[in-house]
Amino acid sequence: MKSLIEKYKNKKKQAIIKSAPQGSYAFVGIGNHSLANLYPVLDFLKVHLKYIVTRSAENATLISEKYRGVEGTSNLKKVLDDPQIIGVFVCASPNQHYQLCSQILEAGKYLFVEKPPCDTSEQLKELISISKTKGNISLVGLQKRYAPVYSKLKAISAKATYYSLKYQTGAYPEGDVLLDLFIHPLDLSVFLFGNAKPVSVQKIKRSESSFTYLIHLKHENGITGALELSTDYSWTGASEQITLNTSKGIYHSESTSSLTFTEKPRVIAGIPMEKVRAFAPATKQLFGQNDFLPVREHNQLYSAGFYNEIETFVNLCEGLKAINKSSLAQLEDTYKLIESIRS
Q: Are residues 138 and 256 part of one domain?
A: no
Rounded to 10 deg, the angle between the 121-134 and 94-106 helix axes is 20
Q: Per the omega criterion (within 30 degrees of 0), is the bond before 185 cis?
A: no
More confident residue, 149 or 12: 149
Arithmetic mean of pLDDT, 135-154: 96
Residue 7 is predicted with a pLDDT of 60
* 20-49 pLDDT tens trace: 788 999 999 998 999 999 999 999 999 999
Q: Are residues 152 and 296 part of one domain?
A: yes
What is the distance between the alpha carbons of residues 307 and 301, in angstroms, rounded to a whole number? 6
Q: Are residues 66 and 129 part of one domain?
A: yes
Residue 12 is predicted with a pLDDT of 57
pLDDT-based confidence at residue 245 (cuts at 50, 70, 90):
very high
Q: Are residues 171 and 249 part of one domain?
A: yes
* 275-327 pLDDT tens trace: 667 666 788 999 988 877 778 888 899 999 999 999 999 999 999 999 999 99
- C-alpha distances in Å from residue 287, one per residue of 164, 187, 246, 258, 284: 19, 22, 18, 5, 9
Q: Are residues 286 and 152 part of one domain?
A: yes
Arithmetic mean of pLDDT, 102-117: 97
Residue 192 is predicted with a pLDDT of 98
Residue 293 is predicted with a pLDDT of 74
Final residue in a domain of this structure, among 103, 126, 142: 142
What is the distance between the alpha carbons of residues 142 and 311, in angstroms, rounded to a whole number? 13
Q: State yes or no: pLDDT of 169 exceeds 70.
A: yes
Arithmetic mean of pLDDT, 337-341: 97
More confident residue, 247 or 195: 195
pLDDT-based confidence at residue 8 (cuts at 50, 70, 90):
low
Output the domain CATH number for residue 10: 3.40.50.720
Arithmetic mean of pLDDT, 75-81: 96
Assess if residue 82 is contained within a domain. Answer: yes
Arithmetic mean of pLDDT, 115-131: 97
Assess if residue 266 is contained within a domain. Answer: yes
Q: State yes or no: pLDDT of 14 exceeds 60.
A: no
CB crowding 16-43: b at 16 or more within 10 Å, else e = eeeeebebbbbbbbbeeebeebbbbbbe
Final residue in a domain of this structure, among 79, 113, 142: 142
- Please check whether residue 75 is in contact with residue 306, taking contact to mean a CB–CB distance below 8 angstroms: no
More confident residue, 236 or 8: 236
Arithmetic mean of pLDDT, 95-120: 97
Helix (H) or strand (E) holding 184: helix 183-193
Q: Are residues 134 and 161 part of one domain?
A: no
Q: Are residues 125 and 209 part of one domain?
A: no
What is the distance between the alpha carbons of residues 87 and 131, in angstroms, rounded to a whole number? 13
Output the domain CATH number for residue 219: 3.30.360.10
Assess if residue 328 is contained within a domain. Answer: no
* 195-238 pLDDT tens trace: 999 999 999 999 999 999 999 999 999 999 999 999 999 999 99
Q: How many domains does the chain have?
A: 2
Q: How many CB atoms lie within 10 A of CB 282?
A: 9
- Please check whether residue 259 is in contact with residue 289, taking contact to mean a CB–CB distance below 8 angstroms: no
Residue 144 is predicted with a pLDDT of 97
Q: Are residues 192 and 63 part of one domain?
A: no
Assess if residue 322 is contained within a domain. Answer: no
Arithmetic mean of pLDDT, 51-65: 93
Full domain range(s) for residue 192: 148-303
Q: State yes or no: pLDDT of 5 exceeds 60.
A: no
Q: Are residues 163 and 116 part of one domain?
A: no
Q: State yes or no: pLDDT of 186 exceeds 90.
A: yes
pLDDT-based confidence at residue 2 (cuts at 50, 70, 90):
low
Residue 9 is predicted with a pLDDT of 53
Q: Are residues 136 and 122 part of one domain?
A: yes
Residue 50 is predicted with a pLDDT of 97
